[in-house]
Homo-oligomer: A and B are copies of this chain.
Amino acid sequence: PIELPLQAALPPCETLGPEFARVRALSATLTEGLDAEDQALQSMPDASPTKWHLAHTSWFFETLLLRPHAAGYHAHDARYALLFNSYYEALGPRHPRPQRGMLSRPTLAEVWAYRRHVDAAVQHFIECASPAAWSAAAPILALGLQHEQQHQELMLTDLLHAFSLNPLAPAWRGGVVPASGTAEPLRWHGLDPGLVEIGHDGAGFAFDNELPRHRVFVAPFELANRLVSNADYRDFIDDGGYRRPALWLSDGWALAQAQGWHAPPYWQPDDDGGWRQFTLHGLQAIDPAAPVCHLSAYEAAAYAAWAGARLPTEFEWETAARHSSTDASMTRYQLDRMLPQPSPGLLGEAWQWTSSAYAPYPGFRPLAGPAAEYNGKFMVNQLVLRGGSCATPPGHARVSYRNFFPAAARWQFSGLRLARDAR
């Protein structure tokens, strides 16, 4: 049996039933206006088709919740076990990741039939499970919802990448996005944390990688009051930021040269010597005050070096977030403005690269059963990002949340907040 010691108290079915419906419905909402062809695109091995995300998140409930826990459950289609397993070695063979875009079958309509089948079975389980079954399965249900939310963000970032390769510059949602006004002046907030507690504190859901809560010594440091803005970043470009190796990590410089980087990946020169940006709302003017995003960690670190600063560690960031007077919860999630905006809070708008490698916390134990592969096996060669983004579903991120990507990744809503040693 899967052991998921994620939450002190089991969530009651009265809570999880509506929550399940709400989360699953958002996935549908995100695909509105997209053709079946749009939802079948896979633009690189790292990305997946929208349709695949829809099916995989259903497979997750089917495989981890319904098959082991829902008595009498019948799989919708036995062949889907192979097609929609992402990376779980313990759960059998998988369709090769780079070929997810080859799955014209099952069609989008068939994937929706699969989703409906799983939805009904899960709702039935929520309503009718025995207390013992519920006790065993509720943590998995909660995990499945968080999992679906993670894929909801990926659905958008993967689609954005695919659309960026189409010369017609399609928009997920159309319309002109107005500029967001003036950015706050950069200010530094000093902290002297000393020995602090890091990691999830026990209330509510957390992934295994946020645990256990443990002590870390954090020296005095300063953190910027806001994310680096597009205008800030344009200054870096104009000052030769992409041409000065002294600013760059060695791997980053090599990659930038090999791939010809000279701006963030979705920035395009406009006719006036300036830039515009390809977004989920199509080509838009650069919003100067808005946070820059779609940076690799290499670009983030080079910018920080240019600015005489550095990236924060994930421990500095979490410490600062716990001290922040602004509400730590993220509330903005606007389908008609799915790109970062200026914000006073520590969380939200753009994931913030840290200098911390993604590693297990002292005493880390992966979940039991197949969910053991959920986070632990990726704890090498990646950096932690903190804070959530404009595309993170409401209620998903939190102060202890650890997102992670390789330093070279540029297709996420990833930006940065400057830090520096205390003066």
Whole-angstrom CA separation of A82 from B162 in the bound complex: 18
Q: Mark A245-265, 1 if CB is under 8 A from B, else 0.
A: 110111111000000000000
Binds B, one of A142-150, A165-173, A176-184, A331-339: A165-173
Q: Nearest-CB distance from A154 to chain B (Å)?
A: 17
Given known A104-B162, A195-B217, A251-B380, contact A40–B43 (CB-CB < 8 A): no
**List of B residues within 8 angstroms of A301 by Cβ:** 380
Interface size class on chain A is 35 or more
Considering the complex, give the chain B residue whose CB is closest to the CB of A83.
B167
Q: How far is the CA of A63 from the CA of B305 in the complex (A)?
A: 26
Q: Which residues from chain B contact A239 at a C-beta distance below 8 Å?
A: none
- In whole angstroms, how far apart are the Cα atoms of A75 and B409 in the complex? 40
Does B360 contact A41, Cβ atoms closer than 8 Å?
Answer: no
| Chain-B contact segment, one of A105-113, A270-278, A389-397 | A105-113
Give A372 Cβ to nearest chain B Cβ, in Å: 8
Known pairs A362-B219, A380-B407; A105 contacts B170 (CB<8 A): yes
A278 CB to closest chain B CB (Å) equals: 14
CA distance A248 to B214 in the complex (A): 25
Provided the pairs A36-B36, A216-B217, A380-B252 are in contact, do residues A246 and B89 lie with their beta carbons within 8 angstroms?
Answer: yes
CB contact under 8 A between A37 and B219, given known A249-B379, A378-B250, A407-B381:
no
Assembly stoichiometry (copies): 4
Quick check: A107 and B363 within 8 Å, CB to CB?
A: no
Main SS of chain A's interface residues?
mixed
For the complex, is A119 an interface residue (Cβ under 8 Å from B)?
Answer: no
| Set of chain B residues within 8 Å of A298, measured between Cβ atoms | 380
Residue A76 CB within 8 A of the other chain: no
Are A102 and B43 in contact, with the CB atoms below 8 A? Answer: yes
Find out whether the CB atom of B380 lies under 8 angstroms from the CB atom of A41. Answer: no
Tell whether A79 is near chain B: CB-to-CB under 8 Å.
Answer: yes
User: Within the assembled complex, what's the spacing in Å between the Cα atoms of A302 and B311?
Assistant: 31
Instruction: Report the minimal beta-carbon distance from A48 to chain B, rounded to whole angstroms.
Output: 14
| Residues in A298-314 with C-beta less than 8 Å from chain B | 298, 301, 313
With A35-B36, A87-B250, A219-B362 known to touch, is A101 a contact of B101 (CB < 8 Å)? yes
Q: Is the CB of A249 within 8 A of B167?
A: no
Quick one: CB contact mask for A392-422 with B, threshold 8 Å, 1 for yes?
Answer: 0000000000000001000000000000010
Q: List 5 A-B contacts (CB under 8 A).
A: A36-B36, A40-B104, A79-B168, A89-B246, A101-B101
